[in-house]
Structure 1
Amino acid sequence: MFQLSHLRSFVAVATELHFGRAAALLNMTQPPLTRQIQLLEHEVGVRLLERSGGTVRLTLAGTTFLREAEDILRRSQAAALAARRAMRADAGSVTMGFIPAASFTLLPQLLGAIRAKFPDVHVSLREMQTDAQLEAIGADRIELGVVRPFAPRSFALSAPLLREPFVLAAPAGHPLMTCPSLTLQSLEAQPFIEFCPSESRYLYEVVAGRLRAEGVAPETVQTLSHTHSILSLVDAGMGVALVPQSAHRLGYAGVAFRPLENAAGLDVELHLAWRRGNQHGVADTVRALLQDAFPAPA
């Protein structure tokens, strides 16, 4: 089978269309270069170059082979570079999952921190819900995940990166936006849009648990899985909702936001998750950076 050195020799001759210049370009003499081309043509089984006197030109087969040879050389160089980068903890690639809500809260900050500190690290992103990310971490399909808090897994570890309070989202001009004191009790009997207990279990349990503890019973009119869907119904005037504070960044013009009084503990977290015993050097470096840049909230 032909070798990469045979391909380099052929590409040099095919580019220069002159054996002497190609030999000089390769820092070798002309006889061994001619021998390399002969060996290559023997292996391929067709003539690649026509030589007549001092003229060299590509055959039809040679023209086709040239494109493939150049591609093989490019890919071999890329493979060698990737292998060398893989030995560095500050270069290479890492695959990170993230829940949709992180895209308008924490994700831009995380990516900015990685680019600033490790410009040679490429982050490949996967938008996935928390359970899907944990499954992918367990199967080594992703190295890191930005998730909601989850029940303990034997194969996964996590650390909190962000904690933010829930705030009231209501249609602009809603009476609750101007009442003197806004507490959870203010939501009694209000048309209420809440998170889905099956698909957004963590958010649902935080809100529903606190409402139960306070003895407050709003009138649930819809349950939805995503914050942006909930805000679209608030914008349509169908009710009010409790959403993470960062939801205001979604920019619904007809939705107003207001913090609640005496609502300690009514907050939501984003965690960084990774596989226990991870041996991925780049992912470990990125994880350490993010935990340092975003220390666990008090």
Structure 2
Amino acid sequence: MRAMPRLPKPKRRPKMRRSARTRNKSTEFAQAQLGQIPLVALRHAVVVGDVLNFRHAANVLGVTQSSVSARIKALEEALGIVLFERRHRGVRLTEAGRRFIAEVSAGIDHLDYAVRTAGAVSNGGEGRLAMGLHASIAFGFLADLRCRFRAAYPKVEQAIMEGRSSETIALVRDGKLDVAFVVGAVEAPDCHSRELWQEPLVIALPAEHPLASSPAITWADLAPETFLVRDSGSGPQVFDHVVHRIVERERSPRIYRFDVGRDTLMHMVAAGDGITLTSEATTHIRFPGVVFRSIADETKQARFSAVWSPHNRSPALGNMLDLAIQMSRPARSL
């Protein structure tokens, strides 16, 4: 008898790993149920999971026991999972319930934190405030303003950028700075500005200058001197003011302009290259070889302004401007 030919074994179809299949079904189930579960039901479940008693949970939540029981039952039906084993004197978490409550509790904590943080930022209690300023106004009124603001709003980060007035105002326009504190009045039609404070004008002299020991210095004493003025910052305002005062004394002003920073200008004064006019805030800084003296017949003061964008709705900015306005005094123009 001829042997029957052996037929090839049918190829087995590859089986999906059980864990992956279970994971996919769980993900699809969770996505399908997510929109059907109210947050209040999750909060009720967390409280019941903490106290393991419907009546005690109702007292904590300030609702009726029947309301808590109904919420938990609806939640279990929506999930298709038994979270709690009902007992005569309370409830006990199932293993699935224990895992579920742990994850939900952590999620609710994160949600509560997000809500609190958003609320704090919306009222200006937290966040970041970016300020632009010129080096010569880093002391005095502005330093006091920043100190008081930090005391009132300790969770608001104060980010500081130092630069020329034109640069900081441009960054305000671009939304990269919240506010710029600059010298003098501001002509920026697309920005809001407000004069906040003024400071006395003082003269910076070399320590060995004959006027350094004078009991009272006047513009008549200063008229023959060589003045050093910066091109940037408050330089243009200083230049105009010095010219005006010297011409009033029927003298020809001798002024040299330099594209340098404040510190370099003060080093030039110390070296005997000339003298310069500045505001009282600069006197808070020690420059070796330089002394500051008041001008007896100077009647005007330096003005300082805040500049901000009308499109900026930062609550922290509003809080700082309110504080600055409260601190400000009526200013007289330079």
Shorter-normalised TM-score: what interval? 0.5 to 0.7
TM-score if structure 1 supplies the norm length? 0.68
Matched, 1:281 2:315: yes
Aligned length: 246
Q: 1:172 aligns with which of 207, 213, 221?
A: 207
SS in 2 for 1:185: helix
Give 5+ residue unaligned stretches, structure 1: 6-23, 37-69
The residue correspondences of 1:236-255 to structure 2 (distance < 5 A) are: 236-255=271-290
SS in 2 for 1:283: helix
Matched, 1:159 2:224: no
Alpha-carbon spacing, 1:221–1:201, altered in 2? closer, same or farther (3 Å): closer
C-alpha contact 1:99 1:147 (8 A) present in aligned 2 = yes
| Distance in 1 between residues matched to 2:152 and 2:274, nearest whole Å | 44
| Distance in 1 between residues matched to 2:328 and 2:245, nearest whole Å | 27
Q: 1:126 aligns with which of 161, 168, 172?
A: 161
| Distance in 1 between residues matched to 2:185 and 2:213, nearest whole Å | 37
User: Which residue pairs with 2:261 in the alignment?
Assistant: 226
Alpha-carbon spacing, 1:76–1:103, altered in 2? closer, same or farther (3 Å): farther
SS in 2 for 1:104: coil
TM-score if structure 2 supplies the norm length? 0.61
CA-to-aligned-CA distance 1:66-114 (integer Å, 9 cap, x gap): xxxx9xx999887655423222233333222212212233332111110
Q: 1:109 aligns with which of 144, 150, 155?
A: 144
| Distance in 1 between residues matched to 2:312 and 2:133, nearest whole Å | 18
Alpha-carbon spacing, 1:249–1:178, altered in 2? closer, same or farther (3 Å): same
Alpha-carbon spacing, 1:137–1:175, altered in 2? closer, same or farther (3 Å): same
Matched, 1:186 2:251: no
Q: State the one-letter code of the partner of 1:153.
A: A
Q: Displacement of 1:196 after TM fit? A: 2.1
SS in 2 for 1:297: coil
Matched, 1:141 2:176: yes
C-alpha contact 2:132 2:161 (8 A) present in aligned 1 = yes
The residue correspondences of 1:38-53 to structure 2 (distance < 5 A) are: none
| Distance in 1 between residues matched to 2:100 and 2:311, nearest whole Å | 52
Moved over 4 A (4+): 32-36, 73-81
| Distance in 1 between residues matched to 2:270 and 2:212, nearest whole Å | 14
User: Which residue pairs with 2:131 in the alignment?
Assistant: 96
Q: Displacement of 1:249 after TM fit? A: 1.7
Q: Displacement of 1:33 after TM fit? A: 6.3
Please say which structure displays the higher CA radius of gyration: 2
C-alpha contact 2:145 2:323 (8 A) present in aligned 1 = no
Q: Percent identity?
A: 19
Matched, 1:260 2:325: no
User: Which residue pairs with 1:31 in the alignment?
Assistant: 96
Q: State the one-letter code of the partner of 1:161.
A: L
| Distance in 2 between residues matched to 1:29 and 1:205, nearest whole Å | 83
C-alpha contact 2:197 2:330 (8 A) present in aligned 1 = yes
| Distance in 2 between residues matched to 1:226 and 1:215, nearest whole Å | 31
